[in-house]
Amino acid sequence: TTEDLQTLVLTTLDKSNTISDTKDLTFNDAPVDQLVLFGALASLKSKEMIDFTPIECVSWVLTEEGKQVAKDGSHEARVFEAIPAGDEGLPIAELQAKVGPSAKPGQGKAFKNKWISKKGANLVRLVDSIVDETQKDLKEIESTGTLANEKTLGELKKRTLIDKQKTTTYSVSKGPDFSVQIKKEATDITTDMLQSGEWKNATFKKYNFDAAGVPPQGGHLHPLMKVRQEFREIFFEMGFQEMPTNCFAESSFWNFDALFQPQQHPARDAHDTFFLKDPATSDRYPRDLMEKIKKTHEDGGDTGSIGYNYVWKEEEAQKLILRTHTTSVSSYMLHKLSEETKKIGEFRPAKYFSIDRVFRNESVDATHLAEFHQIEGVIADKNLTLGDLIGFMDIFFKKMGMDKIRFKPTYNPYTEPSMEIFSYHEGLKTWVEIGNSGMFRPEMLLPLGLPPDVRVIAWGLGLERPTMVKYGISNIRDLLGHKVNIAMIKDYPICRLDKKMGKELVGLSE
Ligand code: PHE
C-alpha cells in the first residue's frame, strides 16, 4: 500500500540519507511498482518531508512469445531436439506433429545456424550438441532489462521476442520537514477542533491551487436582481437616467442635512442609523453649499421659511453613516443638476432613478432586514404640481400591474405635500401601503441651487416586498442574508410569464 511504501522510503532515507534510484528499492523482496511509488512520493513531497526527481530510462522486456522462448527454449533448439542423432534423422512430414508452431520458424533458423540439413525427405543433425543462445539472451534480458550486444537486441526485436519499454524511477532526498513519522494533516477546521483548541497545534493540508475544480454549472441571477431588472426597464422606457449609487457610506450631510432633516430628528440617532467608526467623518461637500444649508436649518435663510430655529453644527453633518435611503443620492444629484444649470445657463428637465441598497439599524424579523433595496424616482421640471405626481404614479404603478392606487397625506422632513401610496390588495381585500412620495420642499431645493420655479417630485418604494410576492417567499430572510439557501437561487425559474403583479402585495420595506 501507499503507507507501506512511504514508511519504506522514509526509513531508507533515515538510514542512508538519499535513495539514488528507486529501481533498487524492494518491498518483501519484490521490486516496488514505480507507479504506486510515485503516488507515495508525491504525497510526501506535498508535506515537504522529501524531495524527488524522476530518472527516465529505456529498457527491454520480453513479449509473450519471448517469455515462452525463455522458458521452453528457442524454436530452432526445439527443432534440433526433435531430430534424433544419426543418419536416419526425422521425416520432414513428422516435424510439425512434434514441435507444433515452432516447426516453421525453427527450421529456417536451425538451417542458418548449420545445426541441421536435409537428406532426401528427412532432416538430419549436422552437430552433436548445440547451445541455445537465443534462450540465454532472453533470460538475461528478462533479469537485467538489456544486453551488451546491440545487434542481437535488434534481431530479437525483429523476431518480436522483445520490446522497448520506457520506465521512470526516482532519486529521492530528504525535504525540509523530514521525519520518519508521517504527520496527520487536517483538511478542514471542524467545530470539535475549535472547541477543544486542537486547531492550534494541528497541521493543515496545503491548498493545491493546481487541482482542477468542480466545473460551475452556470451562473444564476438572484430573484431580487431579476425583479430589479424589470423595474429598471420600466424606468428606461419612461426616459429615466440611472443615478450612481455606489456610495453605501455617506456623510450625514447628503443623507440628512441636504434634505432639510433637522439635526435632532430621531431618525439620526444610533437606534435607527448605523454610524461608521473608522473613518467616522467626511467633509466631502462644498463649503458654500454647507453655509446655505446651515442658514436654512437655522432661520430659513433666503427661502422665505423660518427654519427650525436651532444652532446647526457641522460635526453632526460630517458623521459618516451607512445611507438610510437612496434619497441621499437624489440630493447629491440635484445639486449636480443645479451646477450643470449654472454652467450651461439654462435649466434642462431631468428624470432620475436608482435601485440599490440602504441600511437601517432595525431588529431583524420575518418582514424586516437591516439592509434592503430601495427603488427611487425623481423628476425635476418647471411648474410641476401635485397632480403631475399623482398622474405619474398612476402610470408607473400600472406598468407594474397595480391599477388601483390611492394616496394618503403623510409627513417627511424634505417633502411637502407628502403622500403615502396605497394599492388595493384583492387577496387581502384591503389597501396596502406600497411606497412614499412627495414634492421636495423649497428649503431643500433652493440651497441646492435650483432655479426657484423648478419643482421636483419624487417617490420611493422597497424592492424586497414585490420580489417576495412574485416569487412566493414569505420570510424575508429566505430572500436575503446569511440564511439564504443558494440552491433556491438556482432553482427559481429563469423567467416568469406573469410579469404583472396584479392583485398582489407590493410595498415599502419599512
Ligand atoms: N426616502 C423615503 C423613504 O426612505 C422615500 C421617499 C423618497 C419619500 C422620495 C419622498 C420622496 O421612505
Between residues 396 and 414, the one the model is more confident about: 414
pLDDT, mean of residues 375-390: 96
Q: Which of 261, 375, 412 to mutate to test the pocket of ligand 1 (most atoms within 8 A of CB)?
A: 412
Closest Cα to atom 5, ligand 1: which residue?
A: 460
Ligand 1, residues at Cβ distance < 6 Å: 325, 327, 376, 412, 415, 436-438, 458-460
Residues 6+ apart with CB under 8 A from 288: none
End-to-end CA distance of the chain: 64
Closest Cα to atom 10, ligand 1: which residue?
A: 437
Closest Cα to atom 2, ligand 1: which residue?
A: 460
If we measure between CA atoms, which residue out of 1, 4, 8 comes closest to residue 22?
8
Q: Contact, 236 vs 347, CB < 8 A?
A: no
Q: Is 56 helix (H, G, I), strand (E, B) or coil?
A: strand
Q: What is the mean pLDDT of the chain?
A: 90
What are the structural domain ranges in the chain?
75-131, 224-246+323-491
Residue 218, pLDDT score? 79
pLDDT band at 473 (very low <50, low <70, confident <90, very high): confident
Q: Ligand 1 mean position to 483 CA, how many Å? A: 29
Q: Ligand 1 mean position to 508 CA, how many Å? A: 10
State the amino acid at position 333 in one-letter form: M
CA atoms of 179 and 48, how far apart (whole Å):
10
Complex ipTM over 0.95: yes
Q: Ligand 1 mean position to 401 CA, how many Å? A: 22
How many other C-beta atoms lie within 10 A of the C-beta of residue 64? 8
Q: Ligand 1 mean position to 225 CA, how many Å? A: 21
Closest Cα to atom 8, ligand 1: which residue?
A: 437
Closest Cα to atom 9, ligand 1: which residue?
A: 459
Q: Is the pLDDT of residue 394 over 80?
A: yes
Percent of the chain with pLDDT over 90: 64
Task: Determine the Cα angle at 323 with ends 382 and 401, to 5°.
Answer: 60
pLDDT of 1-12, one tens digit each? 888 899 999 999
- Please give the number of the atom of ligand 1 that sits closest to the Cα of 461: 5
Q: State the cell numbers at 373.
A: 433595496
Name, of 6-10, 183-187, 334-338, 400-404, the range with top average pLDDT.
334-338
Q: Which of 375, 436, 463 to mutate to test the pocket of ligand 1 (most atoms within 8 A of CB)?
A: 436
Q: State the cell numbers at 424.
A: 388595493
Burial 229-246 (b: 16+ CB within 10 A, else e): ebbbebbeeeebeebebe
- Please give the number of the atom of ligand 1 that sits closest to the Cα of 437: 10
State the amino acid at position 166 in one-letter form: K
Residue 507, pLDDT score? 41
Percent of the chain with pLDDT over 70: 96
pLDDT, mean of residues 325-332: 97
- Please give the number of the atom of ligand 1 that sits closest to the Cα of 377: 9
Q: Which of 325, 333, 407, 508 to mutate to test the pocket of ligand 1 (most atoms within 8 A of CB)?
A: 325
pLDDT, mean of residues 195-222: 86
Burial of 385 (0-12, 13-18, 19+ CB in 10 A): exposed
Class of domain 75-131: mainly alpha
pLDDT band at 204 (very low <50, low <70, confident <90, very high): confident
- Please give the number of the atom of ligand 1 that sits closest to the Cα of 436: 8
pLDDT, mean of residues 395-404: 84
Q: Which of 327, 330, 455 to mutate to test the pocket of ligand 1 (most atoms within 8 A of CB)?
A: 327
CATH of 224-246+323-491, one of 1.10.540.10, 3.30.930.10, 3.30.1490.190, 3.60.15.10: 3.30.930.10
Q: Contact, 492 vs 223, CB < 8 A?
A: yes
Q: Ligand 1 mean position to 289 CA, how many Å? A: 22
Half-sphere exposure of 359 (CA within 13 A, CB side): 17
Sign of the torsion formed by the C-alpha atoms of 413, 414, 419 and 421: negative
If we measure between CA atoms, which residue out of 372, 338, 369, 373 comes closest to residue 353?
373
Between residues 452 and 181, the one the model is more confident about: 452
Q: Is the pLDDT of residue 505 over 50?
A: no
pLDDT of 90-120, one tens digit each? 999 899 999 988 898 899 999 999 999 999 8
pLDDT, mean of residues 308-320: 97
